[in-house]
Amino acid sequence: DAGVIQSPRHEVTEMGQEVTLRCKPISGHDYLFWYRQTMMRGLELLIYFNNNVPIDDSGMPEDRFSAKMPNASFSTLKIQPSEPRDSAVYFCASSLLLGNSYGYTFGSGTRLTVV
Amino acid sequence: RKEVEQDPGPFNVPEGATVAFNCTYSNSASQSFFWYRQDCRKEPKLLMSVYSSGNEDGRFTAQLNRASQYISLLIRDSKLSDSATYLCVVTLSGSARQLTFGSGTQLTVLP
């Protein structure tokens, strides 16, 4: 299994530009999460999906952020327009209930820099 | 108040030392508890789950005190490869799928 795949690994963009981050979860996992990590705030949950349906987006910072999961094998996180304070590492994770525990796997992350 | 609080460190210890990390959580209805490890510029990875009775995995021992809402991780005979940030993680009641992370404790094991 290739694990959770995120792209791009690094993204540098100018303020005001649209940024799209991509994630391919592990096949068969029914939950997908988007997290953001900064030095100041640590790891924060932005949004999560169950069977492609958004369940909780209360962590999405503002309307500039949107996330979609059009099918079980693909999700995007879009920022439009981007701002320097959006600079962070964005992680995607997927999980599957295994007995009484959840197997979470994180992708390698996208390091976003907005200048 | 943060939902999960950890001493940020850094902890700098010599190889072979024993080191302990502590974590407190604010929601008494929290259901599941974990320690994750994150290497520099890498993704978090599960180190171990934490059970009420306490559990051990080789050199690592995790303890949970529900009454005090306190979790600990003990590393014995520390190795250079243990250098990383250790994240305390809980899942909240009604949101069993969502991981809530502490800010992490940075450990450096020195030769």
pLDDT in tens, B61-107: 999 999 999 999 999 999 999 999 999 999 875 555 678 899 999 99
Q: Which two tokens stand for residue B3?
A: 């939902």
Alpha carbon distances (Å) from B36 to A61, A106, B86: 25, 11, 6
Alpha carbon distances (Å) from B25 to A7, B51, B64: 33, 15, 11
Q: How far apart are the first and last CA of chain B?
A: 37
Q: What is the pLDDT of residues A34-67, one digit of tens each?
A: 999 998 889 999 999 989 999 989 999 889 999 9
Distance from CA of B77 to the nearest CA of A (A): 28
- Rounded Cα gap, residues A103 and A40, in angstroms: 27
Residue B14 has pLDDT above 90, yes or no: yes
Cβ atoms B17, B59 nearer than 8 A: no
What pLDDT is attached to residue A92?
Answer: 97
Q: Cβ of A91 and B44 within 8 Å?
A: yes
What pLDDT is attached to residue B95?
Answer: 54
Question: Among A33, A39, A41, A43, which would you mutate to test the B interface (most chain B Cβ atoms within 10 Å of its Cβ)?
Answer: A43
Q: What is the pLDDT of residues A93-105, one digit of tens each?
A: 998 865 455 668 9
CA A14 and chain centroid, separation: 20
Is the four-CA dihedral B55, B12, B88, B46 of positive or negative sign?
negative
What pLDDT is attached to residue A99?
Answer: 47
Residue A91 has pLDDT above 60, yes or no: yes
Q: Look at residues B64, B37, B102, B44 and name the one whose alpha carbon lies nearest to residue A107.
A: B44
Is the four-CA dihedral A91, A96, A97, A98 of positive or negative sign?
negative
Is the four-CA dihedral B86, A40, A25, A57 of positive or negative sign?
positive
Q: Look at residues B12, B6, B4 and name the one whose alpha carbon lies nearest to residue B82.
A: B12
Taking contacts as CB-CB distances below 8 angstroms, the residues of chain A near B32 are 101-102
